[in-house]
Amino acid sequence: MANIMYDLGKINDKPYEGERKMPAIVSVAEAIPPNILKQNEVMDFARDLFSESFNDIERLLKAFHNGQIEKRHFVKNLEWYKTEKSFQERNQTYIDCAVDLGVEAINNCLMSKNFLTRNILYDEIDAIFFISSTGIATPSVEARIMNKLPFNQHTKRIPIWGLGCAGGASGLSRAYEYCLAYPEAKVLVLAIELCSLTFQKNDRSKSNLIGTSLFADGVACALLTGDRADRHSFQKLDAVPAVQHTQSTLMHDSLEVMGWEVKNEGLFVVFSKDIPSIIATWLKPIAIDFLHESHVEIDSICHFIAHPGGKKVIDAYQHSLGFSSDMTNISLDVLKEFGNMSSATILYVLRRFMEIGKKGEYGLAAALGPGFSSEMLLLRWEN
């Protein structure tokens, strides 16, 4: 009964009073897809593809430079995307590559020399939250991975599909809630997005052109632990981000802002040009109210762990929240080096913040996705 009361008392999604330990993010690692494409290469590819559809193609191609992306990583080389592929072929490629890269990301996370003093064994993991929006698989990808790695057969599987760019932050939030309910748990959040495999060669829309300038493939895995998991026996850093509070927000009547249109040929990108202006007006009151619930002022935030949807999105974050460019430098660096990898991107950003965070510092993690929606986490670095 004591354990039941302990668990139920922690599930109310409200910030705690006092100094109780909270679920923490202990390790984050990536698996980098093998094919590196410079932005100029992709721009030339887009010029050849879209020139017949747009009279002002050179003006539109400025998006490739204005976004400040320098290179991206894809699971296939550029030649592969030049020929038409069926939905079945692209989706099977998604499954095959997702399993291989997912195995690599999990191993990198559980055996990280940067964040762990010892390897975490597979059978120590209680649950796997699998996040993706760029392919379809039943059995889902984490089940296929569990046939390659010796996880306990009773490991809980929680696949989450369709949250797009907000998925990584949402996965962290749901894992946090799991660790509140099961405070001895060790939980993985595995985000796999192979955006390039959704590319539609015959889609000559501006949304597809902009998507071609932004999106990339990325895979990352995070390890979260409950407050009874004795993380001090394997935690290497002096302080790690503990999740204090989370918030999910849906903007009603905004289904057309971002997402997929599902057709016979596969997934067609929906990407509104109004996203930066929506962020500039909608995000701030949500963020302020969220922080006030935890009695934290926005000026107390030392680290802004933002999903970098694009350069205009980063600029909109700064304008909306009043942050200086220094607060978004890490997000911009990830964008420059990797592009927008949908849900996985915020885990790439988080890993870099974990290397610099100090005890007592607050961080705000934020990502926006289809719905239109936002996911936020308040973090505090604890030893």
Residues 223 and 245 reside in one and the same domain? no
Predicted local confidence at residue 20, as pLDDT: 61
Please classify residue 101 by burial: count the beta carbons closer than 10 Å to its beta carbon, then call 0-12 exposed, 13-18 middle and 19+ buried: buried
Residues 199 and 278 reside in one and the same domain? no
Residue pair 340/18 in contact by the 8 Å Cβ criterion? no
Residues 109 and 137 reside in one and the same domain? yes
249 contact partners, CB below 8 Å, separation of at least 6: 286, 373, 374, 375, 376
Domain count, the chain: 2
Residues 223 and 313 reside in one and the same domain? no
Predicted local confidence at residue 364, as pLDDT: 96
Residues 164 and 116 reside in one and the same domain? yes
Last residue of a domain, which of 193, 210, 232? 232
Predicted local confidence at residue 266, as pLDDT: 79
Q: Which residues are catalytic?
A: 165
Q: How far is residue 43 from each of residues 63, 65, 69, 336, measured CA to CA in Å?
A: 9, 9, 11, 15
Predicted local confidence at residue 284, as pLDDT: 85
Predicted local confidence at residue 19, as pLDDT: 52
Residues 209 and 261 reside in one and the same domain? no
Report the C-alpha gap between 109 and 86 in whole angstroms. Answer: 34
pTM score, whole prediction = 0.90
> Which regions in the chain score pLDDT beneath 70?
1-20
Q: Indicate the pairing of strand 217-225 with strand 240-250.
A: unpaired
In the block, tokens 């390039």 appear at 196
CATH of the domain at 249: 3.40.47.10
Please classify residue 357 by burial: count the beta carbons closer than 10 Å to its beta carbon, then call 0-12 exposed, 13-18 middle and 19+ buried: buried
Residue 374 lies in a domain: yes
Predicted local confidence at residue 7, as pLDDT: 42
CA angle 372, 267, 280 (to 5 degrees): 25
For residue 82, the enclosing domain spans: 26-232
Residues 200 and 267 reside in one and the same domain? no
Residues 225 and 251 reside in one and the same domain? no
Residues 44 and 121 reside in one and the same domain? yes
